[in-house]
Amino acid sequence: MNITRLSVDLSKDVFQIYGVNEQRQGILEKRITNRQKFVEFIAKHAPCEIVMEACGTANYWARKFTKLGCNVKLIAPQYVKPYIQRNKNDFRDAMGIMEASFWPGTPYVTPKTVEQQDIQSLLRIRANYIALRTSISNQIRGLMKEYGVFVKEGYLHLCSVLPSVVARDNNNGLSPIMKELIEGQYEMLRTMNEKISSLDTQIKMLAHTDETCKRLQEIDGVGPITALAMLALVGDGKGFKNGRHFAAYLGLVPKQHSSGKRECLLGISKRGDSYLRGLFIHGGRAVATNCSKKSDTRSTWVNRIKTQGGMNKAAVAVANKNARIAMAMILSGENYKKVA
């Protein structure tokens, strides 16, 4: 069989394969339920072009098949869905991936290297620890309210008052059982905080040793976490045309709903990686907060947007500009040039 392109619908244990020839005619339909046989099958047809959805394990298989000499392309699931006809199943998913790959405007996702996966895992675990810490803090505060013990919001304040609140000689309305439970939760809070501090140290070391991260941190509003998150997502940046393309991918541009001569721009589209978008916006908010204390061209621009449209619009505007500048720096290899 003269197979030129294979589309693969990935799952944990089942791999649905669909192949076409040079005339785009479907000549192969195969379902494999063994990972080793899956690799052997691809190796038998290598080198060829392989397209898959950018889902769980896709980066691993992309790296493995690239070593076999295949040209691997990943497509975001939202661009595959319009091509799935009628009822959904693995075979129709594989056909939909194939159809999407032939559309000239389909944007592809660059497969991540092992180093990128390491950085992304580090950041995701840190974010999970922070979410757990927040959840435990809110639970403790909510449970204590039922006993008439009220503690104001804030993780640091909660940790500072908990030892005295659960003290055995403190008759504040908490029962002995409740005090013992809160002590256990307090230990979990301390554990989470230690883990977060350890990861923060590791993040700072990685950001300090990587040359690209050091250059990105020269941008106002971009810190070590944002720089590493961007490096984990885009790598060398070759998956994007320019800074504007990257900002649009992140969802930092207006969503459009226009028809004919009527143009309608809505709020930001919020597409792409929500984690990195949030980091850029938080950094933009920090810049917008302090812009009134500076007189340079950039701060004057930010302050004008904040005065006319408010803090949120200013934060998003800075985030958009920072994303574009960061991508331009990665693609060009140049350092950040501050405007006086």
> Which pLDDT band, with edges at 50, 70 and 90, does 340 fall under?
low
Tokens found for residue 310? 């408010």
Distance CA(123)–CA(115), nearest Å, equals: 13
- pTM, entire model: 0.86
Q: What percent of the chain has pLDDT above 90?
A: 60
Same-domain check for residues 161 and 249:
no
Which carries the bigger pLDDT value, residue 107 or residue 134? Answer: 134
Last residue of a domain, one of 188, 209, 230: 209
Same-domain check for residues 168 and 247:
no
* Structure confidence by residue, pLDDT tens digits, 82-115: 898 888 888 999 999 999 999 888 888 889 999 9
Please check whether residue 340 lies inside any domain of the structure: no
pLDDT of residue 202: 95
* Structure confidence by residue, pLDDT tens digits, 233-266: 998 888 888 899 999 889 998 887 778 778 887 7
Last residue of a domain, one of 75, 109, 143: 109
Residue 1 has pLDDT above 80, yes or no: no
* Structure confidence by residue, pLDDT tens digits, 174-214: 898 999 999 999 999 999 999 999 999 999 999 999 999 99
Last residue of a domain, one of 67, 83, 109: 109
- In DSSP terms, which residues pair with 51 in a beta bridge? 7, 73
Task: Decide the pairing of beta strands 5-9 and 15-20.
Answer: antiparallel
Please check whether residue 337 lies inside any domain of the structure: no
> Which pLDDT band, with edges at 50, 70 and 90, does 39 fall under?
very high
Average pLDDT on 261-279 reads: 84
Same-domain check for residues 151 and 223:
no
Same-domain check for residues 197 and 219:
no
Same-domain check for residues 200 and 221:
no
Same-domain check for residues 248 and 323:
yes
* Structure confidence by residue, pLDDT tens digits, 51-65: 999 988 999 999 999
Same-domain check for residues 205 and 283:
no
Please check whether residue 299 lies inside any domain of the structure: yes
Q: What CATH number does the domain containing 90 carry? A: 3.30.420.40
Count up the domains in the chain and report the number.
Answer: 3
pLDDT of residue 229: 95
Three-state SS for the chain is CCCCEEEEECCCCCEEEEEECCCCCEEEEEEECCHHHHHHHHHHHCCCEEEEECCCCHHHHHHHHHHCCCEEEEECHHHHHHHCCCCCCHHHHHHHHHHHHHCCCCCEECCCCHHHHHHHHHHHHHHHHHHHHHHHHHHHHHHHHCCCCCCCCCHHHHHHHHHHHCCCCCCCCCCHHHHHHHHHHHHHHHHHHHHHHHHHHHHHHHHHHCHHHHHHCCCCCCCHHHHHHHHHHHCCCCCCCCHHHHHHHHCCCEEECCECCECCEEEECCCCCHHHHHHHHHHHHHHHHHHHHCCCHHHHHHHHHHHHHCHHHHHHHHHHHHHHHHHHHHHHCCCCCCCC
Same-domain check for residues 105 and 150:
no
Average pLDDT, the chain: 90
Indicate the Cα dihedral angle 217, 222, 223, 227, nearest 10°.
-70
Range of the domain at 49: 5-109
> Which pLDDT band, with edges at 50, 70 and 90, does 167 fall under?
confident
Same-domain check for residues 146 and 227:
no
